Amino acid sequence: MSSYKIETKCIQSGYEPGNGEPRILPIYQSTTFRYTSSEQMGRLFDLEESGYFYTRLQNPTNDAVAAKICDLEGGVAAMLTSSGQAANFYAIMNIAQEGDHIVCASALYGGTYNLFAHTIRKMGVKATFVDPDCTPEELDAAFCENTKAVFGETIANPALVVFDFDKFASAAHKHGVPLIVDNTFATPVNCRPFEWGADIVTHSTTKYMDGHAACVGGAIVDSGNFDWAAHADKFPGLTTPDETYHGIVYTEKFGKGAYITKATAQLMRDLGSIQSPQNAFLLNIGLETLHLRVPRHCGNAIKAARYLQNHEKVAWVRCPSLPGDKYYDLAQKYMPDGTCGVITFGLKGGRDAAVEMMDRLKLIAIVTHVADARSCVLHPASHTHRQMNDQELIEAGVQPDLIRFSVGIENAEDIIADLEQALS
Ligand SMILES: *Cc1c(COP(=O)(O)O)cnc(C)c1O
């Protein structure tokens, strides 16, 4: 499929039925798979032969959807996970262990920040958070002997910081470690991080990929570009024998598939954060229209942002696709066709006015979600970050008056009319 354009890949990649087989991807709603020889089953367990035996490890529906996402990103191997959180957790823990360290851009989704700042720290992996606008020298200084990866988000949720791929990729590669990028907000329709030097891409498929707020899910994609064997001392898990599989060496046996095979064979086997085949089926239907929905989300977001910019009660608006935004130049460089449908804004009346305005909205709903077909808002200071006082909010990069507005694909005039009545 890789020679087709992105629109065709959204529809066709990952599943090609044979003669007389179902036209659309079936749901293989089965925990297990039958074999006629016990010896063959044994070879599957030893990774000597590839095949399905238990859905915690692999399932045909999930594999077809992972293959589609892999093709959309231009990677060589991919896997689905039960959530975006699981994808980011696995992406790091597949190459880092107790005593290791990672470097992250500090503008991150709140759940990812908690995961990296607290949860993996308890497992012995420390993270250093760097200002995404740091100089190359400051970034360089964040690396240690035991650094194993660099991590960032293409467009940070909710800070809307656009990731400087050139700066972060050259630092990562200079230090012999991969760049891992969470591409949830941009989606491969607007940005393909592998084209800008990223080595691994992760997704919360819960957002635009599913696109309908129907199922939580995640994905990890490997570009196949990072040479683990060239940095064998840093990545022993990939380059030395795995005793749980009779001493196979992932890089030797699986080549460019080493990273995803290890994440499946070890992490998924032991931690078990699989996506259900039912959810993968729904995700696949969402992916078929990704290339139609993303441009509409972006177009509506620009219209809503322009409306808000001109409103007397609005103090500020952030939309990286609009000239004047702090990240406009980076957005033009890496995502000239559009960024995402999420914008943020603040009202002159501050935090209280934000809460009052949101309560008056009729079409646009207050929900803890972003990036689905329906327009929605969230006030982080009252919701996701409500334990923090104003000072702590500002330190976390969330202004107390910030409203996160996920612009849907309804008619833009209806969306703007709802803002209008709520603001008046
Ligand atoms: C939502 C989100 C996640 C977490 O994904 P879940 O599917 O909710 O676990 C990770 N990264 C980004 C950028 C997100 O927006």
Contact of 418 with 303, CB cutoff 8 Å: no
pLDDT of residue 392: 72
Sign of CA dihedral 6, 169, 181, 299: negative
CA distance 358 to 223: 42
Q: What is the pLDDT of residue 397?
A: 67
pLDDT given at position 385: 79
SS3 label, residue 17: coil
Q: How far is the CA of 310 from the centre of ligand 1 (A)?
A: 31
Which pLDDT does position 386 carry in this prediction?
79
Band the pLDDT of 394: cuts 50, 70, 90.
Answer: confident
Average pLDDT over residues 55-72: 97
Q: Residue 142: what residue type?
A: A
Candidate of 80, 155, 157, 180 to mutate for ligand 1, largest count of ligand atoms within 8 Å of Cβ: 157
For ligand 1, atom 4, name the residue with the nearest CA.
Answer: 84
Q: How far is the CA of 84 from the centre of ligand 1 (A)?
A: 5
pLDDT for 284 beyond 90: yes
Question: Has residue 388 got a pLDDT over 80?
Answer: no
400: confidence class by pLDDT, cuts 50, 70, 90: confident
Do the Cβ atoms of 202 and 174 come closer than 8 Å? no
Residues at CB less than 6 angstroms from ligand 1: 83-85, 109, 111-112, 153, 157, 182, 184-185, 204, 206-207, 216, 218
Name the one residue in this structure whose structure tokens are 């991807």.
Answer: 25
CA-closest candidate to residue 403, choices 370, 358, 372:
358
With beta carbons less than 8 A apart as the criterion, state whether 81 and 218 touch: yes
For residues 105 and 229, what is the distance between their CA atoms, to the nearest angstrom? 26
Q: Specify the CATH superfamily of domain 291-423.
A: Aspartate Aminotransferase, domain 1 (3.90.1150.10)
Average the pLDDT over 89-117 and give the result. 95
- Chain mean pLDDT for the chain: 95
CA distances from 279 to 22, 53, 65 (A): 18, 20, 10
Distances (CA, A) of 250 to 97, 159, 179, 229: 17, 38, 20, 10
Percent of the residues in the chain that have a pLDDT greater than 70, as a whole number: 99
Cβ pair 258, 281 in contact under 8 A: no
* C-alpha Rg value of the chain to the nearest Å: 22
- Whether residue 192 is predicted with pLDDT greater than 70 in this model: the reply is yes
The sheet with strand 403-406 has its strands ordered as 314-318, 342-347, 403-406, 376-378, 365-366
pLDDT per position as a tens digit, 205-264: 999 999 999 999 999 999 999 999 999 999 999 999 999 888 999 999 999 999 999 999
As a dihedral over the C-alpha atoms of residue 377, residue 311, residue 420, residue 379, rounded to 10 degrees, the angle is 20
Substitution site in 112, 181, 216 for ligand 1 pocket (most atoms within 8 Å of beta carbon):
112
**pLDDT tier for residue 1 given thresholds of 50, 70 and 90:** low
Q: Is the peptide bond before 22 cis (omega within 30 degrees of 0)?
A: no
CA-nearest residue for atom 1, ligand 1, is 204
Distance from C-alpha of 86 to C-alpha of 205, rounded to nearest angstrom: 11
Tell me which of 75-89, 167-181, 297-311, 372-386 is least confident: 372-386
From the list 212, 209, 217, the residue with the least C-alpha distance to 290 is 209
Domain with CATH 3.40.640.10 in the chain: 31-285
How far apart (Å, rounded) are the C-alpha atoms in residues 188 and 193?
8
Average pLDDT over residues 279-286: 98
What does the pLDDT average to over 95-107? 97
H helices of 128-190, where? 136-141, 165-174, 187-190
Distance (angstroms) between ligand 1 centre and the Cα of 327 equals 22
Cis ω before 380 (30° cut-off from 0): no
Q: Which of 104, 184, 200, 383 to mutate to test the pocket of ligand 1 (most atoms within 8 A of CB)?
A: 184
Average pLDDT over every residue of 48-59: 92
Q: Options 3.40.50.970, 3.40.640.10, 3.40.50.720, 3.40.50.920; which CATH number does 31-285 get?
A: 3.40.640.10
pTM: 0.97
Q: Write down the H helix ranges in 194-324.
A: 236-239, 250-254, 258-262, 269-271, 277-288, 290-309
Which part of the chain has CATH 3.90.1150.10?
291-423
Nearest to 399 by CA among 382, 416, 376: 382
How far is residue 199's CA from residue 149's CA, in Å, rounded to a whole number?
A: 10
Q: Kindly give the distance from the C-alpha atom of residue 184 to the centroid of ligand 1, in angstroms, as a whole number.
A: 7
For residues 190 and 181, give the distance between their C-alpha atoms in angstroms, rounded to a whole number: 14
Residue 387 has pLDDT above 80, yes or no: no
> Left (φ > 0), alpha (ψ -120 to 50) or beta: where does 20 sit?
left
Is pLDDT above 70 for 416?
yes
Q: Are 206 and 216 in contact (CB under 8 A)?
A: yes
